[in-house]
């Protein structure tokens, strides 16, 4: 996988390890007994007696081992005694059946244990300093369903998989039947902070405010980086409500004519029509100076065309006048571009989930089970970071 920047943990190196070395490191990251306790069967019937912690460990190990189905997981547990032992399951009896694995997965879904485990790991990584959370990137990715395709009207009535449409980087229209995985990712560690799953037709801008609010409840974001598909006023307002700034390119396809004397990116123009020079900010007030005074242009009349002052004309803009157009730092500055470039961290996180793990290999139906499946994949990334962090401290 092509990585543009070094992350705090090498997930790729963990994947390169042999399974017999990788799994002990992975399982050392968290005690699952409190969660497994809630999965114990209280019925004297059925295949009781299998260690619920062992089954939960197996469900978490499955994405890391590239196991996409419960049938394949049962086969691995049946034929690989080392794997079964490392999961904590007994060797003196048969491996858990497919129906037992399915019942436990359904129980995990019903009790939302995967979501709670995910949130607990996020909090733990925050305390250990692995997750920073001051810079957060948000994006969605397509997840293809393991369900029979239906007409859009009928799909909307179920609340499960639906038809989604998006444009690729070349402007080609792509359609799929399934879901969307919405992620808020810490740009420093490239680890997920918040995860939500919706039918594929749900607009990204509808989910962004909720993701921002949840991220702010777990960390203290200063900036949210999103692509032009999120260029909606309510997204900027949601970021400001949690005392953060949204860094989003303007979507020029639906851009209206800017106010008189103003460029589309929020830069005021001098009386000669030249774009003024951004000169810093004081709180919510952006300051712009005459481009002649700052040496950006050399007009025939110089500064005199705008002001008699040796400092040149100054224009101040309050970002609260238009949260979408005005931004601090100002649009298209080096600082703004550097912040926006951090958005690629969420793309790399999505790539790890879909290409290195099993996020895009669904074999369950219904949005509740799909959500559990995706939470288990996200937990693998968090657990790998915890394990790597502890291993680095031990070596040091």
Domain co-membership, 227 together with 351: yes
Domain co-membership, 144 together with 199: yes
More confident residue, 271 or 315: 315
Handedness of CA 121, 124, 130, 135 (dihedral sign): positive
Place 311 in a pLDDT band, splitting at 50, 70 and 90: confident
Domain interval for residue 240? 130-251+337-367
Residue 166 placed within a domain: yes
Domain co-membership, 204 together with 303: no
How many C-beta atoms surround the C-beta of residue 9 within 10 A?
Answer: 21
Percentage above 90 pLDDT, the chain = 60
The answer for residues whose C-beta is within 8 angstroms of residue 6's C-beta and 6 or more apart is: none
Place 1 in a pLDDT band, splitting at 50, 70 and 90: very low
Residue 228 placed within a domain: yes
The yes-or-no verdict on residue 47 having pLDDT over 60 is no
> What's residue 301's pLDDT?
67
Q: What is the CATH number of the domain that holds 158?
A: 3.30.420
Q: Report phi then psi at 94, rounded to 5.
A: -65, 155
Residue 177 placed within a domain: yes
Domain co-membership, 148 together with 194: yes
The yes-or-no verdict on residue 3 having pLDDT over 50 is no
How many C-beta atoms surround the C-beta of residue 58 within 10 A?
Answer: 28
> What's residue 28's pLDDT?
80
Domain co-membership, 140 together with 235: yes
Domain co-membership, 176 together with 241: yes
Q: What is the pTM of this model?
A: 0.89
Place 394 in a pLDDT band, splitting at 50, 70 and 90: low
> What's residue 38's pLDDT?
87
Taking CA atoms, 170 is separated from 92, 176, 227, 229, 344, in Å, by 56, 17, 15, 15, 17
Domain co-membership, 222 together with 138: yes
Domain co-membership, 175 together with 269: no
Place 392 in a pLDDT band, splitting at 50, 70 and 90: low
pLDDT, one tens digit per residue, over 169-224 is: 677 888 999 999 999 999 999 999 999 999 999 999 999 999 999 999 999 999 99
> What's residue 8's pLDDT?
45
Domain co-membership, 188 together with 267: no
pLDDT, one tens digit per residue, over 249-277 is: 998 776 777 778 888 888 998 878 888 89
CB of 262 within 8 A of CB of 268? yes
Total number of domains in the chain: 2
């Amino acid at each position: 996988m092509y990585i543009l920047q070094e992350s705090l943990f090498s997930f790729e190196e963990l994947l390169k390890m042999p399974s017999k070395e990788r799994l002990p490191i992975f399982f050392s990251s968290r005690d699952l007994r409190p969660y497994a306790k809630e999965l114990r069967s209280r019925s004297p019937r059925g295949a009781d007696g299998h260690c619920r912690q062992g089954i939960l460990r197996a469900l978490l190990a499955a994405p890391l081992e590239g196991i996409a189905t419960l049938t394949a997981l049962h086969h691995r547990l049946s034929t690989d005694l080392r794997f079964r032992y490392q999961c904590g399951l007994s060797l003196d009896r048969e491996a858990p059946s497919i129906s037992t694995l399915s019942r436990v997965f359904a129980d995990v879904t019903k009790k939302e244990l995967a979501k709670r485990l995910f949130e607990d790991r996020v909090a733990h990584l925050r305390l250990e300093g692995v997750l920073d959370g001051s810079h957060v990137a948000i994006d969605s990715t397509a997840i293809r369903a393991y369900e029979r395709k239906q007409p859009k009207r009928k799909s909307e009535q179920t609340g499960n998989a639906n038809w989604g449409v998006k444009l690729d980087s070349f402007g080609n229209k792509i359609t799929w039947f399934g879901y969307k995985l919405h992620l808020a990712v810490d740009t420093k560690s490239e680890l997920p902070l918040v995860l939500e799953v919706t039918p594929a037709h749900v607009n990204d801008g509808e989910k962004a405010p909720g993701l921002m609010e949840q991220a702010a409840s777990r960390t203290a974001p200063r900036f949210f980086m999103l692509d032009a598909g999120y260029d909606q006023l309510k997204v900027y307002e949601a970021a400001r409500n949690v005392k953060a700034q949204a860094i989003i390119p303007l979507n020029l396809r639906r851009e209206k004519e800017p106010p008189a004397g103003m460029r589309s990116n929020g830069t005021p123009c001098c009386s000669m029509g030249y774009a003024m020079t951004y000169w810093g900010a004081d709180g919510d007030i952006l300051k712009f100076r005459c481009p002649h005074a700052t040496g950006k242009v050399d007009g025939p009349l110089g500064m005199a065309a705008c002001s008699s002052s040796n400092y040149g004309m100054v224009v101040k803009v309050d970002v609260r006048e238009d949260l979408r157009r005005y931004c601090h730092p100002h649009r298209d500055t080096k600082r703004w571009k550097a912040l926006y470039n951090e958005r690629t961290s969420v793309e790399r996180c999505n790539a790890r989930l879909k290409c290195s793990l099993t996020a895009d290999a669904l074999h369950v139906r219904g949005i509740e089970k799909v959500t559990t499946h995706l939470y288990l994949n996200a937990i693998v990334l968090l657990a790998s970071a915890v394990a790597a962090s502890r291993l680095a401290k031990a070596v040091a």
